[in-house]
A and B are shown apart, each in its own frame.
Chain A
Amino acid sequence: MMSREPWDAEEARGLIASRRDEPGAMLPILHDLLDRYGYIDDEAIPLIAEALNVSRAETLGVVSFYHDFRRAPVEGALMKLCRAESCQAAGCEDLVAYLVARHGLTVDAHEGGPITIETVYCLGHCAVSPAALLDGHPYARLTREKIDVLVAKAKGRPQ
């Protein structure tokens, strides 16, 4: 799901140019870059600003507003664990504590390593909470046992 191509300013310039004339092109451009490189490189800011004829400050303002537009790549697998109300009611906080206790993985710590876990608020699988996305694939009715399987899966993925 997440692409890990190394940042390439020339290629990015092309990606940006191909969308610059669309109405409200800023978010589609940022999503293209995110899909391609897995994050928004600092060098992309002036490129976008120039292409869309807005200031760098404005561009940075947009990038920093949205949770999705991470500023650094994630190295290993990325798990987005839902911690909104429905998943709370079905025990997601127990899973958060279990991840630390059993696997030494702290949610939202961004310590690098083979698996990064982030909080997300709602994946829409609330009928069968708790839920998570692992590299874009959805999982529901999570239990401690299923968390063990997901962590093993994430660690076993080709780096």
Chain B
Amino acid sequence: MKRIYVPADSTALAMGADEVAEAIGTEARERGLNVEIVRNGSRGLYWLEPLVEIDSPTGRLGYGNVEVEDVALLFDAGFPDGGVHEKALGLIEDIPYLKKQQRLTFARCGKIDPLSTDEYIAEGGLAGWRRALTIGPNATVEEVLASGLRGRGGAGFPTGIKWRTVAGASAEQKYVVCNADEGDSGTFADQMLLEGDPFTLIEGMAISAFAVGATQGYVYIRSEYPHAYGVFRNAIMRARAAGWLGENALGSGVAFDLEARLGAGAYICGEETSLLESLEGKRGQVRPKPPLPALQGLFGKPTVINNLLSFAAAPWILANGAKAYADFGMGRSRGTQPFQLAGDIARGGLVELALGVTIRQLIEDFGGGTRSGRPIRAVQVGGPLGAYFPDRLLDTELDYEKMAAVKGMLGHGGLVVFNDTVDLAAQARFAFDFCAKESCGKCTPCRIGSIRGVETVEKIIAGRNAEANVELVRDLCETMTDGSLCALGGLTPLPVISALDNFPEDFRDRPRMARAAE
């Protein structure tokens, strides 16, 4: 039977993949063709969705931006046996966007049926977990430490050190918690993996649990990702049915089970201590540190809390060895990062590459510049708490230290491209406004400072005492940076100050009075 792949990834659905899958099914039936439609994840080449693939003797062939109206013509042209059609892309793996990537964590994404345990194993799944079981918990922790893996949520803390701390704590119950509260605009890697290769996350968490002696895991998924939540819950059930979860997980003799929990629309719950509070059934308010979650985390027990991308890197590291992973990257930033290209971008999608690639290489070589055709004016890197970069800084390498040196941060690896119509004063206002809306309210600089920030930037936009008010904003940012308990209040100044420093012209001589207080 011919296999036809149509992604069921939610972004592909947003581009019409369900309708295309249905049309292909109908057309095949009418033509009396025996086909199997596989709902794979996305390859991350989102600008080509719905991206339909078929098998061929030389590899998978792709058809990009397939619309319902194209389906009959595709079959006329010889589909699903190939054939010439204007939407044919040739061999998927030869598309430069994909071919030039270094897919480690996302190697299987888009290739396999995300919910098939057999296909997962056939594509190298479980090799990391099995190796961990062979080398034992201590060696597993050391392996992750030696790989140089750092927290992919943005903070960049060495993952192996976290694991070692939890492993060294003695307690009857320990937990592993996955932060899949991917709230940063411009990021979608968590969603893509949850929907396209969920077993990788399950395996990564199982490896971590084995390494530190935890028996229960939680995955906290944001409610804005209803589809990902559904797919992942299904994946957990299948993993349990396959014996990967339960009292004797993967025949290891040790127990490990997993539960997916849904967030409730609070950005702050992406902050680790706030996430733990939320999992415990409380308001998502930030906890002071210490105590570290590694020692007193979920329900007061030692807890590994990692970003989804950190856990998802573990299976590859264990399967291929720490050195192989550390061979990617530069300086103290080892391994790969799934970068995400967003905003006004011609070829938006996920690009996994070794750390150290420049912003320009990503948005020009891969992204192809703006979709609108207008010139690029600013690129925000690292989500709502990341800096806005002007053209002269686009050759900065994406590595934790290099980004910090230009007063930015890598965050979750999202890059949002803005064209020349962007008003950076309006973006600075938005940064404060977002902080005001999403602040948990625990500390004053964040709760009140953000509101004062909105008001002051509005004065600047209205052209009132711009110079003095810019000074006031800088002063306020200093207070927020130094006086906030967590990264929301502490990093909101990052986009604001970068806008002031890199685009000062947007804050002076403002003639656009009307735009002031919307």
Known: A84-B185, A89-B418, A127-B47. A66 touches B14 (CB 8 A): no
Q: Is B233 interfacial (CB 8 A cutoff)?
A: no
Known: A90-B371, A126-B187, A128-B11. A69 touches B224 (CB 8 A): no
In the complex, the answer to whether B281 meets A27 with C-beta atoms within 8 Å is yes
> B223 contacts which chain A residues (CB < 8 A)?
31, 68
Q: Is B380 interfacial (CB 8 A cutoff)?
A: yes
Q: Is B226 interfacial (CB 8 A cutoff)?
A: yes
What 0/1 readout, one digit per residue, does chain A (81-112) give for beta carbons within 8 Å of chain B? 01011111110000000000000000000000
Distance between Cα atoms of A66 and B181 in the complex (Å) = 14
In the complex, the answer to whether A27 meets B264 with C-beta atoms within 8 Å is yes
Distance between Cα atoms of A66 and B334 in the complex (Å) = 37
In the complex, the answer to whether B267 meets A121 with C-beta atoms within 8 Å is yes
State which of A30, A31, A65, A122 has its C-beta within 8 Å of the C-beta of B283. Answer: A65
What 0/1 readout, one digit per residue, does chain B (115-141) give for beta carbons within 8 Å of chain A? 000000000000000000000000000
| Chain A nearest CB, measured from B16 CB (Å) | 9
In the complex, the answer to whether B15 meets A128 with C-beta atoms within 8 Å is yes
In the complex, the answer to whether A68 meets B265 with C-beta atoms within 8 Å is yes
Residues 341-393 of B contacting A (Cβ, < 8 Å): 341-345, 348-350, 371, 380, 383-384
In the complex, the answer to whether A23 meets B299 with C-beta atoms within 8 Å is yes
A26, A127, A136: residue with the most chain B Cβ atoms closer than 10 Å: A127
What 0/1 readout, one digit per residue, does chain B (15-57) give for beta carbons within 8 Å of chain A? 1000000000000000000000000000000110100000000
Q: Is A154 interfacial (CB 8 A cutoff)?
A: no
Known: A86-B416, A121-B185, A124-B224. A52 touches B380 (CB 8 A): no
Q: Is A141 interfacial (CB 8 A cutoff)?
A: yes
Residues 110-130 of A contacting B (Cβ, < 8 Å): 120-129
In the complex, the answer to whether B284 meets A66 with C-beta atoms within 8 Å is yes
The chain B residue sitting closest to A67, CB to CB, is B265
User: Chain B interface: which size bin?
Assistant: 35 or more
Chain B residues in the interface with A (C-beta under 8 A):
10-11, 13-15, 46-47, 49, 182-188, 190-191, 223-228, 261-267, 278-285, 299, 340-345, 348-350, 371, 380, 383-384, 414, 416-419, 422, 427, 430, 434, 438, 440
Q: Other CB < 8 Å A-B pairs besides A122-B182, A126-B414, A138-B11, 20 of them?
A: A23-B280, A24-B261, A24-B281, A27-B281, A28-B262, A31-B262, A66-B265, A66-B266, A68-B264, A80-B224, A84-B384, A89-B419, A122-B183, A124-B225, A127-B345, A128-B46, A128-B49, A129-B348, A137-B13, A139-B14
Chain A residues in the interface with B (C-beta under 8 A):
1, 23-28, 30-31, 52, 61-62, 65-69, 80, 82, 84-90, 120-129, 131, 133, 136-141
